[in-house]
């Protein structure tokens, strides 16, 4: 699923089930030492997907520590992103020769709870979702908006080291499988306020992606 919405210079791997905890590196085990079972499984399989994806760009298996505010610390010369939700885990990586940052996010293909929507979307975005819903009622457009904003944060944070609020990006979703975002705050490390990404709904899940190429 995730590979369908990434450019060819990004490698990815995904799993619809989980792999054994023994696949973790010893250095990674303390990161989930006190975690509940669900969290352990998603972390382990997310790391496994990351190493599968890294192998596809010629990077030998290595630990992927947790950095500032939970962002993965990728092996030198690479950037990437991890996502997991019920029944799905994925990772995407690229060489820093090709990419500045990557953000991916997966979600169950279900409507967002009403109270969440009002916290993550502006009135303009909500009006856009209504129009999309009128044209195609089969797609949970609100969930795609939420996921797009998670992908934006996963690109934004590793570059800037700063928090980005849901109100600080204005997203327009295109029914064709793309979205555009305008950042309402600037940071020199981002270099741009305009982002574009892709989305896909498939088999009970939705996914979004942003791959920022190196100019």
Can you give the binding site for ligand COA, defined by CB under 6 A? 42-43, 46, 69-72, 82-84, 105, 149-150, 152-154, 157-158, 164, 166, 168-169
- Helix then strand then coil, in percent of the chain rounded to 5, is 35, 30, 35
Residue 166 or residue 179: which is nearer to ligand COA going by CB? 166
Q: Shortest Cβ distance from residue 122 to ligand COA (Å)? A: 11
For the beta sheet containing 205-213, the strands, ordered from the edge strand earlier in sequence to the opposite edge, are: 99-108, 205-213, 194-202, 178-183, 169-174
Residue 21 or residue 168: which is nearer to ligand COA going by CB? 168
Q: What is the DSSP string of 185-196?
A: S--TTT--SEEE
Q: Which two tokens stand for residue 163?
A: 């928090």
Q: Shortest Cβ distance from residue 52 to ligand COA (Å)? A: 15
Q: Shortest Cβ distance from residue 26 to ligand COA (Å)? A: 17
Closest residue to ligand COA, judged by C-beta, is 70
The residues that bridge with 84 in the sheet, in sequence order, are: 89
The continuous run of DSSP H or E covering 141 comes out as helix 141-160
Q: Shortest Cβ distance from residue 133 to ligand COA (Å)? A: 21
Residue 45 or residue 132: which is nearer to ligand COA going by CB? 45
**Closest by CA position to 25, among listed 58, 54, 53, 51:** 51
Residue 141 or residue 153: which is nearer to ligand COA going by CB? 153
Instruction: Provide the CA 17 distance to its chain's centre, in angstroms.
Output: 19
Q: Shortest Cβ distance from residue 68 to ligand COA (Å)? A: 7
């Amino acid at each position: 699923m995730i590979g369908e919405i990434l450019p060819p210079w990004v490698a990815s791997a995904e799993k619809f089930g989980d792999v054994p905890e023994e696949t973790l590196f010893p250095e990674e085990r303390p990161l989930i030492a006190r975690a509940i079972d669900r969290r352990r499984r998603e972390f382990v399989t997310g790391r496994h997907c990351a190493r599968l994806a890294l192998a596809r760009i010629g990077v030998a298996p290595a630990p992927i520590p947790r950095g500032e505010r939970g962002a993965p610390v990728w092996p030198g010369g690479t950037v990437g992103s991890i996502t997991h939700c019920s029944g799905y885990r994925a990772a995407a990586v690229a060489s820093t020769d090709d990419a500045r940052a990557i953000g991916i996010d997966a979600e169950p293909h279900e409507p967002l709870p009403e109270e969440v929507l009002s916290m993550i979307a502006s009135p303009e975005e909500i009006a856009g979702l209504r129009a999309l819903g009128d044209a195609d009622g089969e797609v949970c457009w609100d969930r795609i908006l939420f996921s797009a904003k998670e992908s934006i944060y996963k690109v934004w944070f590793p570059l800037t080291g700063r928090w980005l609020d849901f109100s600080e990006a204005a997203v327009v979703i295109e029914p064709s499988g793309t979205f555009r975002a305008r950042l309402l705050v600037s940071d020199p490390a981002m270099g741009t306020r305009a982002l574009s990404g892709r989305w896909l709904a498939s088999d009970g899940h939705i996914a979004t992606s942003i791959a920022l190429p190196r100019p």
